[in-house]
A and B are shown apart, each in its own frame.
Chain A
Amino acid sequence: MAAVQDGQLNLEVEKDIKTEITNDGSGNINANSSSPGSTSSGGKSKSPAGSGEDQQTLLAVLQFLKRNKLTESVDILRREAGLSADADDSPVSESAGAGSGGVPSVGADGGDANSLLSRVSIATPVAPPATAPPKVVAASGGEDQPDVNVVLSAYSQQGDPVLYPLYYNGLKKFIESVLDCHRAELSQVFYPLFVHMYLELVYNNHENEAKQFFEKFSGDQECYYEEDLRILSSMSKKEHMKGNETMLDFRTSKFVLRISRDSYQVSCLGKPEMSRSLWQLTITYRMLSYQLLKRHLQERQNNQIWNIIQEHLYIDIFDGMPRSKSQIDAMSGSLAGEGKRDANKAKVFYGLLKEPEIEVPLDDEDEEAENEEGKPKKKKPKKDSMGSKSKKQDPNAPQQTRIPLPELKDSDKLDKIMNMKEATKKIRLGPDNLPSICFYSFLNAYQGLTAVDFTDDSSLIAGGFADSTVRVWSVTPKKLRRVKSAADLSNIDKESDDVLERIMDEKTASESKILYGHSGPVYGISFSPDRNYLLSSSEDGTVRLWSLQTFTCLVGYKGHNYPVWDTQFSPYGYYFISGGHDRVARLWATDHYQPLRMFAGHLADITCTLFHPNSNYVATGSADRTIRLWDVLTGNCVRILTGHKGPIHSLAFSPNGKFMASGATDGRVLLWDVGHGLMVGELKGHTDTIYALKFSRDGEILASGSMDNTVKLWDTLKAFDDVELDDFTAATGHIHLPENSQELLLGTYMTKSTPVIHLHFTRRNLLLAAGAYNP
């Protein structure tokens, strides 16, 4: 818990600085522009209020910790926040109300936090402590907890409920009247404003007004917010707000908008001959969108809206041209707006780790050498060149020892050798060379198949079922055998060469084995790379580790109290990640029964998890429609990727670690550049949830499998080539997506009535797919 609190604190502190900086910046610009006075003062006056708010939250956290006797954490928090010991002793309401008292401590905050910033590059931008306790509340039967009230109290400032539609309408009219280039940007404000105004109305018991407000304006919102609107619409009473997770998400996190600051210099430098008056005119028209909005609101004395913007929205101002509607649409859609730009600034070492050098026994070549002298010589230089390539350290790769990785065992080495041998027989795929697809259908699964995984060498398939079982099949002629019992094992001659063969019990040989142990549907399943273990995560809140030697459960990892939606082994084994309904992703090591890291920050369930190929990062997709990339070493969130319009259900990294693909319930696949944190492609075509994504072994082809009973193949090579990454787009993160993703679609393969749940490329680039036949 302490670690999370730390992160939380840093975030709060950092937020303060951010608001200050932005406000200063805007103030400066205003000094240049023609309308200085009112705006800059507005900006300045906001800063104490905002920090008072943060302080209030901080104090609430402190109180919570105290009550729970986490004195150590309290000390740390206090020290790092620079709060005096007596500050938190005063009641929360008092300190919140006393804005003036907060000011000096905020100043201290800033100084302290700057030093903190140098240590922690990026902080998690969300407040998990606020989300976690309400769940406890719900569990213990709805007893009031001050934290919730603190969270909700922000809605207590009350305007005249009748005026709300007028305010909103006024803003709507204003935004519709502004220049085209600004309109798209400014209309982003609609949705969060709408939500917060509605919530305010509900909170203040204006039930009817809230309903009317909702009916009047909900139709104006973008269609991708439909899910959230449905949840909102069902919430019509103050009592409902307690314990409603979505509501808390809106409240505890600031909705992030990106709005451009029309670069004043750029537009004017090119026209020095322009007359003074004309220049003035240009300035007024070219005023940054944000300023435009601000001024409008202040002119109209529209404090209600302004307050909401101040409190619940985070407006991320960037320099450059305003974005077009399509650009905005591509990036928006998540529960809490877009990711902040600086949230994606941290460096990500996306390169691959150096492969350990393994002497490939040249037994094949040796045999040939006897026949022909020339051949091995020809082959050897080739092998060397391959080796040297891997010897060179990739500049984008993390240090080899950044994350301690398990040492390679002999069997791992053998497997690596096998892998390399297979890889030489690999087929190069391309648009003209599509892979064959072999479909494994699960028959008689009665809608119960919930998860599938293949081993890397494609020799085993595991299925997780809704009836709590895990089943493992061997798809090679080699049957699954158990290790003999301890008594029998003692009789075995341990010196014999085939001891590994002798320890297996022939009598237990069968094509499939069933693993019993969970007490709820199994939602996630993952083989360890060495094929000795299997992980499964279930509705019962546990992750279980199974041995594929004895076919028994070895460990039940308890930590998630709620359903665990997904779990995934690291590509190097030993570590694994799990994520579930409690919105926290946990990193585990197989020999620790407690998690090593907890990644908190998502605003809704974590629906899928994936390790980066170099095992230094972990990607999580969530029902809040964002993807986050976490650094395993520091536990920080290093990327927030927004753009999906529905819960994300599948993730895939390209084999070189540079790109990522994600699929969601909206039926779209998005492609991401991990290094830059940019969306680089959008693949439309599926009509239902995408449950499976996989890159081919060389990364040229992306296969996507969906609930709509199709497998689609996409030309990723072309998709990544098409992206032009100049400095500007890299800096702003605004990219023009190619309009037509159909050119990238290489093929669509229908199944009869089988949703595609899993995809896997064999080492020779044959595509395997799996799903349950659904008559």
Chain B
Amino acid sequence: MAEERRPKQCTVVLPTESMKAMAESIGVGQLQEESCAALSEEVSYRIKEIAQDALKFMHHGKRRKLTTSDIDHALKLKNVEPLYGFQSQEFIPFRFASGGGRELHFYEEKEVDLSDIINTPLPRVPLDVSLKAPKEQQKAESTEPLKVVKPGQEEEGSIQKGQGAISAEAKGKKEGLMRMKPRSTHELSVEQQLYYKEITEACVGSCEAKRAEALQSIATDPGLYQMLPRFSTFISEGVRVNVVQNNLALLIYLMRMVKALMDNPTLYLEKYLHELIPAVVTCIVSKQLCLRPDVDNHWALRDFAARLMAQSCKTFSTTTNNIQSRITKTFTKSWLDEKTQWTTRYGCIAGLSELGPDVIKTLILPRLTVEGARIKAVSEGPVVSNIDKIGADHVQSLLLKHCASVIAKTRPLPDNMEQYRADYGYLGPTLCSHVVKARAQAALQAQQVNRTTLTITQPRPTLTVSQSGIGGSGGSRSPSIIKVPSSLTLMSTRPGTPTQPSPPATKYIVMATSAGASSTQQVLDGSLVITLSSSSGSSVTSTVASATSTLQPLVKLESRAASGLGGSRPLQKYIVVSLPTSASSSLESKSGMLPPSSSSTSPISLEAGMKMDHTGCVPNGTLLPI
């Protein structure tokens, strides 16, 4: 006999109270108890019968859910008038009320204001039914019916490439082996999945400290190769979503991830450029990147992304993929378009000018006159929107900044104001003064190094520019962008040591143990060792303990500097800003190596969570103690 218990056969009947309530609702008062009982049994039976019939309609409707229309059809089958127009937003449309010692459930019929209904905007028309098939299908049908139907479209998972086998056999080849080959990329181990989750969450999360650590990890970990496709998809999807939502902060975080990925010497991004480049270009030229274009500083993001673009052009452009020329064309095309908005215009110019002096010379300088006229129209013409004005201002300063240096190098002296006006139109005079300045600066640079740091805070758009000139340094420093959370006060550091000669061309190397690879961890309790060494002989080493276990390769840059390290600095943090290309020479991997007291003796007490992105133009790394 049937051992497995079936669900209990339903012998429930409606309570007699319901009968009474229903009878009252149609005007029959004082129904006798026996009549109620008889009625309730009858009604229960009929309801069950109808429900059983309705099930039939559900089955034939090829559904798993019983709908009201099934009930209607079942009623129709019994020649009962269906309940037309039954609809309810809620699962239980009944309200409960009690009073006079009785409990009652009733159907609430609210009064509806017609004007409300009339005035509400029409709901969106539901999409029409459409038929979807794997794209390959049509081609396959017409030419060769045995094409592999692309798996993953709908037939997901265990699809076997039987078709491949068949076509192979059709050619008379031995088949069968390729049958089970899965399409999907490598499965990530649990640890990697955890790592990926942690990293991505940290990168877009609210905690700046975590983000810095995560980006650091991305930029340095050698074992990320398997996760690269995931990362690139994450970024491209993220940009796609956040551009639409004008979420400037997240876009910046994502660009910083791109930056970090690019910085990782063990990763080769070329295979994923198709996802990354569109994301980056979007951040450069998108019409709108933030909710309040008049206040938010999206210009910095454009600059930053433009620099990223330039860097990837330099790194990955080959004669076959022609990234640089394709990108240049893209920028030029939208720049030349009359209707292009100022934001996009800015992005295009930034993108082009980051590509180098040659590009500026050939593409931007000839357009200066036209662009100047346009800027003039905005700034001197009738009052236009504030946004346009800001845009024009930014474009102007951008043009001046980039063109001036190029002109200073290429244009022979003298710098005649009138001549400039003739050559470059509206922008001529200002350009002239900039060029003069640039020339003077170039002359000065022999003795002085200029560093401009631009900080942008998110989400509060206060722009702090701090400039710290450090004397005695040989190389010139280009501006770099530092993004800091607004809670931090940014100040020019290295206090009191302007006279101290900082060594030129300092190289800092960050050593990080590979994720989960215990062999490289010589230090106990899984701490990571970061060695900072300068090529000039002075180097700073600090052990940074990784709080994570060996299984979870999330690097936490918590400084746990022993008292012996670096003298009298109990808490310190170094953030490596740039990696030299030829870092291997100065690689120091031993943990115990304590260098002599170094040049960076300034008491650097900093709060964790600072992150800086170096710019592509910085020839050498800068150690920014904050």
* Binary B-proximity of A434-450 (CB < 8 A = 1, otherwise 0): 11111111111111111
**B326 at interface (Cβ–Cβ under 8 A)?**
no
User: B63 — which chain A residues lie within 8 A by C-beta?
Assistant: 447
**B60 at interface (Cβ–Cβ under 8 A)?**
yes
Interface residues of B in 117-176 (CB under 8 A from A): 126-134, 137-138, 140-142, 145-149, 153-160, 162-163, 165-166, 169-170, 175-176
Given contacts A240-B45, A436-B162, A755-B62, contact A441 B154 (CB under 8 A): yes
**A521 at interface (Cβ–Cβ under 8 A)?**
yes
Q: Report yes or no: B52 in contact with A219, Cβ–Cβ below 8 A.
A: no
C-alpha gap A216/B64 in the complex (Å) = 32
User: B2 — which chain A residues lie within 8 A by C-beta?
Assistant: 219-223
User: B176 — which chain A residues lie within 8 A by C-beta?
Assistant: 432
**B113 at interface (Cβ–Cβ under 8 A)?**
no
Interface residues of A in 305-340 (CB under 8 A from B): none
Interface size on A, residues (CB 8 A): 88
Given contacts A223-B4, A476-B142, A747-B160, contact A446 B49 (CB under 8 A): no
Given contacts A581-B77, A752-B156, contact A565 B134 (CB under 8 A): no
**B6 at interface (Cβ–Cβ under 8 A)?**
yes
Q: Point out which of B2, B65, B78, B165 has the most chain A C-beta atoms below 10 A from its C-beta.
A: B2
**B79 at interface (Cβ–Cβ under 8 A)?**
yes
How near does chain B come to A207, taking the closest CB pair, in angstroms?
9
Q: Report yes or no: A476 in contact with B10, Cβ–Cβ below 8 A.
A: no
Interface-lining segment among A228-236, A365-373, A526-534, A627-635: A228-236
Q: Report yes or no: B133 in contact with A439, Cβ–Cβ below 8 A.
A: yes
Q: Report yes or no: A750 in contact with B56, Cβ–Cβ below 8 A.
A: no
Interface residues of A in 655-708 (CB under 8 A from B): 665, 689, 691, 707
Q: Report yes or no: A476 in contact with B141, Cβ–Cβ below 8 A.
A: yes
* Binary B-proximity of A224-261 (CB < 8 A = 1, otherwise 0): 00100111011111011000100000000000000000
Of the residues A427, A473, A750, contact of B170 by C-beta under 8 Å: A427
**A757 at interface (Cβ–Cβ under 8 A)?**
yes
Interface-lining segment among A82-90, A356-364, A458-466: A458-466
C-alpha gap A476/B142 in the complex (Å) = 8
C-alpha gap A473/B132 in the complex (Å) = 11
Of the residues B1, B45, B77, B158, contact of A221 by C-beta under 8 Å: B1
**A471 at interface (Cβ–Cβ under 8 A)?**
yes
C-alpha gap A689/B130 in the complex (Å) = 25
Given contacts A438-B134, A441-B131, A476-B138, contact A234 B45 (CB under 8 A): yes
C-alpha gap A240/B52 in the complex (Å) = 14
**A139 at interface (Cβ–Cβ under 8 A)?**
yes
**B73 at interface (Cβ–Cβ under 8 A)?**
yes
How near does chain B come to A482, taking the closest CB pair, in angstroms?
20
Q: Report yes or no: B155 in contact with A751, Cβ–Cβ below 8 A.
A: yes
User: B57 — which chain A residues lie within 8 A by C-beta?
Assistant: 521, 539, 563
How near does chain A come to B387, taking the closest CB pair, in angstroms?
39
User: A626 — which chain B residues lie within 8 A by C-beta?
Assistant: none
Q: Report yes or no: A438 in contact with B149, Cβ–Cβ below 8 A.
A: yes
User: B156 — which chain A residues lie within 8 A by C-beta?
Assistant: 750-752
C-alpha gap A506/B1 in the complex (Å) = 67
Interface residues of A in 634-656 (CB under 8 A from B): 647, 649
Interface size on B, residues (CB 8 A): 65
Q: Report yes or no: B52 in contact with A231, Cβ–Cβ below 8 A.
A: yes
**A138 at interface (Cβ–Cβ under 8 A)?**
yes
User: A755 — which chain B residues lie within 8 A by C-beta?
Assistant: 62
**B48 at interface (Cβ–Cβ under 8 A)?**
yes
Q: Report yes or no: A450 in contact with B62, Cβ–Cβ below 8 A.
A: yes
Interface residues of A in 271-291 (CB under 8 A from B): none
**B59 at interface (Cβ–Cβ under 8 A)?**
yes
C-alpha gap A235/B44 in the complex (Å) = 10
* Binary A-proximity of B3-14 (CB < 8 A = 1, otherwise 0): 011100111000
C-alpha gap A523/B9 in the complex (Å) = 30
**Number of residue pairs spanning A and B whose beta carbons lie under 8 angstroms apart:** 197
How near does chain A come to B34, taking the closest CB pair, in angstroms?
14
Q: Report yes or no: B129 in contact with A465, Cβ–Cβ below 8 A.
A: yes
Q: Report yes or no: A466 in contact with B155, Cβ–Cβ below 8 A.
A: no
Of the residues A139, A435, A438, contact of B133 by C-beta under 8 Å: A438
Q: Report yes or no: B154 in contact with A751, Cβ–Cβ below 8 A.
A: yes
**B433 at interface (Cβ–Cβ under 8 A)?**
no
C-alpha gap A231/B56 in the complex (Å) = 13
User: A244 — which chain B residues lie within 8 A by C-beta?
Assistant: 49
User: A521 — which chain B residues lie within 8 A by C-beta?
Assistant: 57, 60-61, 69, 73
**A211 at interface (Cβ–Cβ under 8 A)?**
yes
**B42 at interface (Cβ–Cβ under 8 A)?**
yes
**A764 at interface (Cβ–Cβ under 8 A)?**
yes
How near does chain A come to B10, taking the closest CB pair, in angstroms?
7
Q: Report yes or no: A539 in contact with B163, Cβ–Cβ below 8 A.
A: no
C-alpha gap A138/B149 in the complex (Å) = 53
User: B208 — which chain A residues lie within 8 A by C-beta?
Assistant: none
**B41 at interface (Cβ–Cβ under 8 A)?**
yes
User: B146 — which chain A residues lie within 8 A by C-beta?
Assistant: 427, 436, 764, 766
C-alpha gap A466/B65 in the complex (Å) = 14
C-alpha gap A261/B151 in the complex (Å) = 56
User: A748 — which chain B residues lie within 8 A by C-beta?
Assistant: 158
**A520 at interface (Cβ–Cβ under 8 A)?**
yes
Given contacts A446-B126, A562-B77, A757-B62, contact A235 B69 (CB under 8 A): no
User: B166 — which chain A residues lie within 8 A by C-beta?
Assistant: 427, 433, 435-436
Of the residues A427, A443, A450, contact of B130 by C-beta under 8 Å: A443
Q: Report yes or no: A432 in contact with B165, Cβ–Cβ below 8 A.
A: yes
How near does chain A come to B362, taking the closest CB pair, in angstroms?
46
Interface residues of B in 1-36 (CB under 8 A from A): 1-2, 4-6, 9-11
* Binary A-proximity of B67-90 (CB < 8 A = 1, otherwise 0): 101000100011100000000000
Q: Report yes or no: A233 in contact with B134, Cβ–Cβ below 8 A.
A: no
User: B170 — which chain A residues lie within 8 A by C-beta?
Assistant: 427
What is the chain A residue whose CB lies nearest that of B2?
Answer: A223
Q: Report yes or no: A565 in contact with B162, Cβ–Cβ below 8 A.
A: no
Given contacts A438-B137, A439-B134, A444-B128, contact A750 B157 (CB under 8 A): yes
**A193 at interface (Cβ–Cβ under 8 A)?**
no
User: B45 — which chain A residues lie within 8 A by C-beta?
Assistant: 234-237, 240
Q: Report yes or no: A138 in contact with B79, Cβ–Cβ below 8 A.
A: yes
Q: Report yes or no: B62 in contact with A230, Cβ–Cβ below 8 A.
A: no
User: B126 — which chain A residues lie within 8 A by C-beta?
Assistant: 444, 446
What is the chain B residue whose CB lies nearest that of A608?
Answer: B60
Q: Report yes or no: A433 in contact with B169, Cβ–Cβ below 8 A.
A: yes
What is the chain B residue whose CB lies nearest that of A756?
Answer: B62
Q: Report yes or no: A230 in contact with B10, Cβ–Cβ below 8 A.
A: yes
C-alpha gap A220/B2 in the complex (Å) = 6
C-alpha gap A240/B153 in the complex (Å) = 52
User: B79 — which chain A residues lie within 8 A by C-beta?
Assistant: 138-139
**A4 at interface (Cβ–Cβ under 8 A)?**
no
User: A465 — which chain B residues lie within 8 A by C-beta?
Assistant: 129
What is the chain A residue whose CB lies nearest that of B153?
Answer: A439
C-alpha gap A585/B1 in the complex (Å) = 35
How near does chain A come to B149, taking the closest CB pair, in angstroms?
5
C-alpha gap A363/B485 in the complex (Å) = 78
Other CB < 8 Å A-B pairs besides A441-B131, A749-B159, 9 of them?
A234-B44, A433-B166, A436-B162, A440-B133, A446-B126, A581-B77, A689-B59, A762-B141, A764-B146
Residues in A lying within 8 Å of B, measured CB to CB: 138-139, 187, 211, 214-215, 218-223, 226, 229-231, 233-237, 239-240, 244, 425, 427, 432-450, 458, 461, 463, 465-466, 471, 473, 475-477, 512, 520-521, 523, 539, 562-563, 565, 581, 605, 607, 623, 647, 649, 665, 689, 691, 707, 711, 747-752, 754-755, 757, 762, 764, 766, 772-773
Q: 25 A-B residue contacts at CB 8 Å?
A: A223-B4, A230-B9, A230-B52, A231-B52, A432-B165, A433-B169, A435-B162, A435-B163, A438-B140, A439-B133, A439-B155, A440-B132, A444-B127, A444-B128, A447-B61, A450-B60, A471-B129, A523-B60, A563-B60, A649-B59, A689-B59, A750-B155, A750-B157, A751-B155, A762-B145
The 10 closest A-B pairs by CB, nearest first: A434-B162, A436-B163, A439-B154, A223-B2, A764-B145, A234-B48, A444-B127, A233-B9, A436-B149, A441-B132
